[in-house]
A and B are shown apart, each in its own frame.
Chain A
Amino acid sequence: MADDLELRFERTVQAEARIEPRDWMPDGYRKTLIRQIAQHAHSEIIGMQPEGNWISRAPSLRRKAILLAKVQDEAGHGLYLYSATETLGADREDLTTKLIEGRQKYSSIFNYPTLTFADVGVIGWLVDGAAICNQVPLCRTSYGPYARAMIRICKEESFHQRQGYELLMTMMRGTQQQRDMVQDSVNRWWWPALMMFGPPDAESTNTEQSMAWRIKRDTNDELRQKFVNMSVPQAEALGVTFPDPDLKWNPERGQYDFGSPDWDEFWQVVKGGGVCNQQRIAHRRKAHEDGAWVREAAAAHAAKQAVSKEGAA
């Protein structure tokens, strides 16, 4: 019987059909998905902080409205993804607890500080650009609710990336000081953006099984290469350079060659040693704890309304 179920699961996945919430699935598949989708959801929620940092100091009402809409989208993306994890039997409260206790991770990119307003533009262009590279193939991931959430998210990410690039183009048309600010920001974000694709394939422990289950569609190195190829002409059009002396076109490969990110730094930030790790989690914990009375009051109000409705009926 179990073999039957497993066979049906394998066949569904091989046929590029989707696995849906109430289907039988291997425990490992369920666990891997919960871990990956929760980590993704946490990244969206924590990702509101670096940019939220600039909402009150946006240089114009236009930029402020755009930034607000973008940060609100990140919240929405987190919610689509939490909703997907719940179809797998995860509990929302439990996921939030795991995040604020440091038992589940989020993307390390959000442990870097946003020092200038140019960072808002560079995050949109490079960080959201890298996220799009990662996420577009996930629209075809084997788990239905995850794939559907990714489709919604990808549509909205396109606005994020374009607003960032447009912001940078505007700054590049400004003063020398503004252009320097953009280049400085690119210098700081380029390597962390490349790290967003995860460790090199040879060291990526989860890749092989995830590819077999069609949760993951491309390897870390394939996506990283694709991102570099896409970004170089965009940098040229903008008038900035990437801080990599090894970056150059390789006509034989038909791709750009590029240097290796500092993986020691990557692992250090993953393990909690980044500039903002503690601040990000402390802020999330405070927001959650400060909101406790609102959640309780709303639940109490709902219970009271339900009783008085029953009485009136």
Chain B
Amino acid sequence: MSTSWPLWEVFVRGKRGLNHVHVGSLHAPDAEMALRNARDVYTRRNEGVSIWVVPAASITASSPDEKDPFFAPSGDKVYRHPTFYAIPEDVPHL
């Protein structure tokens, strides 16, 4: 049998109120060991209050090659931004 452990991506919540952020990856035989290893590798100095581990193989990512067409729908919709609308300067709180 193959002895190489699967790769896990690690996400850490730095403190309450923040999102989990990707910090790196590691190898572990199962989810529980991945969590323990993530604690030892990525949070030796109180860098986190919560950890997620996700099998790297389970992540679906957008392809960088199709970057332009994929994100194009948001490119031509300037009316989604507040600065699109001209409001007289003397109108307060807008």
> Could you tell me which residues of chain B, from 1 to 18, have a CB within 8 Å of some CB in chain A?
1-5, 7
With contact pairs A22-B63, A24-B65, A79-B41 given, residues A300 and B1 touching in the complex (Cβ less than 8 Å):
yes
Whether A92 and B4, one on each chain, are in contact in the complex, defined by CB atoms closer than 8 angstroms, is yes
**Across the A-B interface, how many residue pairs have beta carbons closer than 8 Å?**
57
Taking CB as reference atom, which chain A residue is nearest B27?
Answer: A92
The interface-forming segment of A42-50, A121-129, A291-299 is A291-299
Number of B interface residues in the complex (CB < 8 A) = 21
* Contact in complex: A76, B33 (CB < 8 Å): no
Which residues of chain B come closer than 8 Å to A72, judged between CB atoms?
40, 44
A92 to B61, CA, bound (A): 22
Chain A's closest residue to B1 (CB) is A299
Q: Does A23 contact B (CB under 8 A)?
A: yes
Main secondary structure of the interface of A (DSSP, over half): helix
- A261 CB → nearest B CB, Å: 34
Q: Would you call B25 an interface residue if the criterion is a C-beta within 8 Å of the partner chain's C-beta atoms?
A: yes
Other-chain contact of A83, B1, B26, B33 (Cβ < 8 Å):
B26
Contact of B64 among A20, A69, A87 (CB under 8 A): A20
**Chain A minimum-CB-distance residue to B62:** A22
Return B72 CB to nearest CB of chain A, in Å: 16
Interface size class of A (residues with CB under 8 A): 20 to 34
Provide 28 A-B residue pairs closer than 8 Å at the C-beta atoms, listed in order of the A residue. Answer: A22-B61, A22-B63, A24-B65, A73-B44, A76-B40, A76-B44, A80-B24, A84-B24, A148-B24, A156-B45, A295-B3, A295-B5, A295-B29, A296-B1, A296-B3, A298-B5, A298-B29, A298-B30, A298-B33, A299-B2, A299-B3, A301-B29, A301-B30, A302-B29, A302-B30, A302-B33, A305-B30, A306-B30
Could you tell me which B residues sit within 8 Å of A by CB distance?
1-5, 7, 24-27, 29-30, 33, 40-41, 44-45, 61, 63-65
Q: Given A86-B7, A299-B5, A305-B30, 8 other A-B contacts at CB below 8 A?
A: A20-B64, A73-B44, A76-B41, A87-B25, A156-B44, A295-B5, A296-B1, A301-B29
Among all A-B residue pairs, the 8 with the closest Cβ atoms: A302-B30, A302-B29, A298-B29, A83-B24, A83-B25, A22-B64, A295-B3, A299-B29
A contacts, CB < 8 Å to B:
20, 22-24, 69, 72-73, 76, 79-80, 83-84, 86-87, 92-93, 145, 148-149, 156, 292, 295-296, 298-303, 305-306
